[in-house]
Homo-oligomer: A and B are copies of this chain.
Amino acid sequence: MTTALEELAIRLRDFAAARDWEQFHTPKNLAMALAGETGELLAELQWLTPEESAQVMRDPETAGRVRSELADVALYLIRLADVLGVDLLQAACAKLDENERRYDAETYRGSARKAPPLP
């Protein structure tokens, strides 16, 4: 049974193949594209206070741009993982398991200082 994520990876594969774009989709290039889209996402939030950023989806126009940037980041991340042969969900689950062990709730409660990598 194919997950929705796998279906999207396959659609991206076909999308690239139909345009003869596999030649551009090296991990190096896709990582740069991922970072470029992440930069556009940052640009949407850079001048907002953290509180304003929490309300950013209330304005339909901004919400549309934020959703669109999140989508671009997701598409490049899914494509990059597919090109690298990495099962993204499996890798993410494994990392979260690791983080749950690494940052036990008692020690790290309420502190980001002590947990720079993943609060």
Contact = CB atoms under 8 A, between A and B. Distances in A.
Given A35-B35, A70-B81, 18 more contacts: A19-B103, A21-B108, A26-B51, A27-B45, A28-B32, A28-B50, A29-B50, A32-B43, A33-B42, A36-B43, A36-B46, A54-B83, A68-B95, A70-B84, A74-B77, A74-B88, A74-B89, A75-B96
B54 A29 contact: no
Q: Is the interface of A mostly helix, strand, loop or mixed?
A: helix
Interface string A1-41: 00111001001100110111101111111011111111111
Most B Cβ at <10 Å: residue of A34, A71, A91? A71
Contacts of A12: 96
A89 B35 CA distance: 19
Given A15-B96, A71-B92, A36 B47 contact: no
Given A15-B96, A37-B39, A38-B38, A45 B31 contact: yes
Give this chain's copy count.
4
Interface residues of A, number: 83
